[in-house]
């Protein structure tokens, strides 16, 4: 099993869905996990309990990851509690519902719609990475993992604002990898397909889920645990020579180029 014993990982948006699955997988590998959340304290504490049950230490921390002051306080708290950070997972994003029928077409979008998603993805990653850089730099081999979407490569449903923000996050991650490589730090991105069930995908209609499944070579949708596996790989020494990459976790859907 992948070993993260003695390491500390922060998962933003760790209260549920993909974030919860990643946090739990890290804890099972021996890591101490900081579960960040914005609003739902009960969900975050439930994630922490699952991390402890899996064998890892866990700390719950409330912070809006777009708020520099709140994130700076979180960084000080993590430093005080653990004195280090080895893995940073930027999973949080602005609330979004994958509802193809109710999506706003481009002609009706305002720039504020784009800005909300860009802030939730790129600004959040920027704010968290900057605040935690002093801790990450203390140990060689640190890893930053961001979470984007396979929609950037295959916008079958044109969620304009969301896709634009996630494409920006991939660019941010690649630039970060180039900048931080000489410091011994890595940065990679995971781009999942539709993950079911999550808060964002709960409104995706059944016929669309079935069409995506039929077009996917592995003939199913991703579950949160499917994203946790690659995150664990990217957090561990198994990926010690991997940086600047985007791993598509969608059962081969982008490769197949099927309609959704």
Q: Does an H or E element contain 147, and which?
A: strand 143-147
Residue with tokens 């784009």, as numbered in its chain: 114
Distance between CA 46 and CA 19 in Å, rounded? 12
Of 22, 81, 59, 13, the residue nearest 236 (C-alpha):
22
Residue with tokens 């430093």, as numbered in its chain: 79
Helix 68-82 vs helix 124-136: angle between axes, to the nearest 10 degrees? Answer: 30
Distance between CA 148 and CA 170 in Å, rounded? 7
- Cβ atoms of 25 and 228 within 8 Å: the answer is yes
Collect all residues with Cβ–Cβ distance below 8 Å to 236 and sequence separation of at least 6.
Answer: 2, 3, 4, 29, 143
CA 189 to chain centre: 8
Is there a catalytic annotation at residue 162? Answer: yes
Q: Which residues are catalytic?
A: 162
């Amino acid at each position: 099993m992948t070993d993260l014993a003695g390491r500390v990982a922060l998962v933003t948006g760790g209260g549920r869905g993909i974030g919860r699955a990643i946090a739990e997988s890290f804890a099972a590998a021996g890591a101490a996990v900081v579960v960040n959340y914005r609003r739902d304290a009960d969900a975050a504490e439930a994630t922490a309990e699952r991390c402890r049950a899996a064998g890892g230490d866990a700390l719950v921390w409330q912070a809006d990851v777009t708020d520099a002051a709140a994130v700076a306080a979180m960084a000080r708290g993590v430093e005080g509690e653990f004195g280090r950070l080895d893995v940073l997972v930027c999973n949080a994003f602005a609330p979004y519902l994958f509802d193809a029928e109710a999506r706003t077409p481009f002609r009706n979008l305002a720039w504020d719609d784009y800005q909300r998603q860009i802030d939730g993805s790129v600004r959040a990653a920027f704010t968290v990475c900057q605040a935690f850089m002093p801790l990450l730099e203390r140990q060689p081999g640190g890893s930053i993992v961001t979470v984007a979407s396979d929609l950037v490569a295959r916008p079958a449903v044109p969620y304009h604002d969301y896709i634009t923000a996630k494409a920006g996050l991939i660019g941010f991650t690649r630039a970060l990898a180039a900048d931080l490589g000489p410091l011994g730090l890595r940065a990679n991105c995971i781009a999942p397909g539709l993950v079911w069930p999550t808060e964002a995908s709960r409104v995706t209609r059944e016929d669309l889920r079935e069409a995506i499944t039929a077009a996917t070579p592995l003939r199913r949708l991703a579950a949160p645990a499917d994203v946790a596996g690659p995150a664990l790989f990217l957090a561990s020494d198994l990926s010690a020579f991997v940086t600047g990459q985007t791993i598509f976790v969608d059962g081969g859907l982008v490769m197949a180029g099927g309609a959704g």
